[in-house]
Amino acid sequence: MKQDAKAIEAIVMVAEDPVDGGLLAQLLEITPSHVEVLCHELAESYRRENRGFELVKVAGGYQFQSCPEMAAYVERFVVDGQNARLSAAALEALAIVAYKQPVSRAQVAAIRGVNADAVMRTLAARGLIAEVARDDGPGQAALFGTTTLFLEKLGLFSIEDLPPLADFVPGPEIMDSLERTLLAGSAPKVDLRGGGETDSDVTESSL
C-alpha cells in the first residue's frame, strides 16, 4: 500500500469526525484531487476484500463506518455491550472526572499519566460523563462532568454524596509499614484500603 494511502487510513481511523479532504491534502502535502483518488482506491479495496467496514464520504469529509449489512451485529453489540464491565482504566478516568469535575481530557491524562481519549469516549458512550462546559483558555477545551445516569448507577442523590477521598487514602501506619518493608527489600502485598496484607484483587465495578 502506498505511504499516502496508509497515512489517510491512520488519520481517518483516529478522527472522531469526518476528515475534510482539503485537510488531508495539507497534512500529506499532496493535491486534493490526489486525496480523492486515494480514498476512492481505499474504498474499492475494502469492498473487494469484503471487509466489515467501509470508507465513505459524509458530512464534507471522509469517515470509516461499519457496512450496512453488519447492522444487526453492530446493534447487538451496542445494546448488549452496555452491560459489560468497565475496564480498570475507564474506572480510573471516571473517578477522576467525578472528583475533579469539570475536567478536560488533557487533565485526566495528566493525572493518569497516559492518553485518556479512548476511555473518555467509552464513558461518554455509556452516558456516565458528558461535556458540561468549555475551558476559557486557548483552544477552549471541552470540560466533562458526571451525568444523572452516573448518580443513578451509584445510588447517589447528588455528586456531593460521593465519599470523601480521605476514605481511600492509606492511613499513616500502613504507609510507615510499607516504607519500612520497602527499605528492607521485601514488599508484601498491602491492602491500601486499610485491611493489612492481602492476596486478593479489587473487583471492577459493574457500572
**Residue 75 within a domain:** no
Q: Are residues 88 and 157 in the same domain?
A: yes
pLDDT-based confidence at residue 182 (cuts at 50, 70, 90): low
Same-domain check for residues 153 and 180: no
CATH number at residue 107: 1.10.10.10
Is residue 173 included in any domain, yes or no? yes
76 in a structural domain: no
Chosen domain end from 70, 99, 124: 70
| pTM (two decimals) | 0.46
HEC sequence for 147-206:
CHHHHHHHCCCCHHHCCCHHHHCCCHHHHHHHHHHHHHCCCCCEECCCCEECCCCCCCCC
Helix (H, G, I), strand (E, B) or coil at 52: coil
Residue 56: φ, ψ to 5°? -125, 155
Q: Residue 145: name the closest of 161, 134, 156, 157 by CA.
A: 134
- The residue segments making up the domain with residue 174 are 166-197
Q: Do 15 and 63 share a domain, yes or no? A: yes
pLDDT tens digit string along 40-53? 999 999 999 999 99
Burial grade of 132 (CB within 10 A; 0-12, 13-18, 19 or more) = middle
Give the integer Cα–Cα distance in Å for 156 and 95. 14
Q: How confident is the model at residue 202 (pLDDT cuts 50, 70, 90)?
A: very low
CB 53 within 8 A of CB 65: yes
pLDDT digits (tens, 9 = 90+) for 27-83: 999 999 999 999 999 999 999 999 999 998 887 889 998 998 998 888 877 666 555
In a domain, 59, yes or no: yes
